[in-house]
Amino acid sequence: MKIARWIPVLAAIYGLNLPLHAELADGVQAIVNDTVITYTQVKDYIASDVQSLQRQYAGQPAAYDQALSAAINNGLQHLIERQLILHSFETEGYKLPDSVIDDEFQARIREQFGDRVTMVKTLQAEGMTVEQFRKKVRDQYIEAAMRNQNVSRVLIISPFKVEAYYQAHQADFQMADQVKLRMITLNKNGDPGASTLRLANEILSQIKNGAAFADMARLYSQDAQQRQGGERDWVDRDTLRKELSDAAFALKPGETSGVIDLPGTCYLLKVEDARRAHVKPLADVRDSIEKTLSAQEHARLESAWIESLKEKTYWRTF
């Protein structure tokens, strides 16, 4: 399938004012068994994604076109997969009681519309009948059930695979030098800075005379961490602006900086703890590795299942 030809089609559909013959807007894009998938169906399927892309890539037409092409391709492939799955459901003798769809239909009305009157009005505005919406609910339910039966099984990831992945992806678990900070932030608020600087030095003097840094932060700091005594989480060198980073990483645990006088703000820092660059131990990342490997295996199983459906069903794209 040549994605490039989709750009003018979708551009016209989404109001980008590019020339397009009207008859192309609902042309056939794929056939699965005896079901036709049209441009309009793909457009409707990816409508919410397109809105997000338009916001994300506003003023970046080239990047938008590339992202739109990917969304179109993904949408078309998913619609093809759905029809392959529905065809498999019908030909393999599965049955779905009407009562199950009735329950799912009523649940969808409550979740999406609140009540039936609102549903009917909304569907009418979208050019869809109640029966069409009910069929959509049925198809989505069958697709989810078939995917769950054929793919979403519980997988056991062996410790050997986890350790092999860990050894092969050491860079992913590399941690830079980090410090755990407390910070006092004093905003100059448009004054020349002399009064703020005097206050910062007075606070520093009290800390040197035995006042707890955390108590001083709760009294004076003007940022979101004031109630926490100025406490921050672990930060690396790139987290802070350079002047603060240079000061923080020059301190040893337990040490307090001098007043850091910057345009608009004065700062005081205290390093609570520090740790050098290191690779996270396997015990700390085992769960995330297992989730990654499980997701990869599910993706492999799903791909193999869909390929097997393609081998049993007539389908083609245009």
- pLDDT, position 16: 43
- From the number of C-beta atoms within 10 Å of its C-beta (0-12, 13-18, 19+), residue 213 rates as buried
The overall average pLDDT reported for the chain is: 88
Q: Which two tokens stand for residue 191?
A: 């004054």
Give mean pLDDT, residues 98-103: 92
Q: Which two tokens stand for residue 144?
A: 């989810």
pLDDT tens profile 203-232: 999 999 999 999 999 999 999 999 999 999
**pLDDT tier at 96, thresholds 50, 70, 90:** confident
177-276: which CATH number, 3.10.50.40, 3.40.50.2300, 3.40.50.300, 3.30.930.10? 3.10.50.40
Distance between CA atoms of 285 and 292, rounded to whole angstroms? 11
Measured over the CA atoms of residue 84, residue 86, residue 91 and residue 93, the dihedral's sign is: positive
Half-sphere exposure of 186 toward its Cβ, with a 13 Å CA cutoff? 25
CATH 3.10.50.40 boundaries in the chain: 177-276
pTM passes above 0.85: no
Distance between CA atoms of 265 and 244, rounded to whole angstroms? 12
**pLDDT tier at 8, thresholds 50, 70, 90:** very low
